[in-house]
Amino acid sequence: MNLRIGLGFDSHEFEEGKPLYLGGVRIDFPHGLKGHSDGDVLLHAITDAILGALGEPDIGELFSDKDERWRGVRSEVFLEEALRRMRERGYEVVNLDCVLIADEPKISPHKEAVRENLSRLLGAPEDRISLKGKRREGFCEAKGMACICVVLLGKRDEG
Ligand SMILES: [Zn+2]
CA dihedral 155, 55, 120, 18 (to 10 degrees): 170
DSSP 97: E
Q: How confident is the model at residue 73 (pLDDT cuts 50, 70, 90)?
A: very high
Interval between CA 79 and ligand 1 midpoint (Å): 12
Q: How confident is the model at residue 54 (pLDDT cuts 50, 70, 90)?
A: very high
Interval between CA 35 and ligand 1 midpoint (Å): 7
Which residues 6+ apart lie within 8 Å of 103 measured at CB?
135, 136, 142
Interval between CA 39 and ligand 1 midpoint (Å): 5
Closest CA to 11 of 63, 70, 60: 60
Predicted structure pTM score: 0.95
Task: Give the model confidence (pLDDT) of 115-155 as tens digits.
Answer: 999 999 999 999 999 999 999 888 877 789 999 999 999 99
Domains of the chain: 2-155 (3.30.1330.50)
Q: Do 124 and 92 meet the contact criterion of CB atoms below 8 Å apart?
A: yes
Quote the CA–CA distance of 94 and 88 in Å, as a whole number. Answer: 16
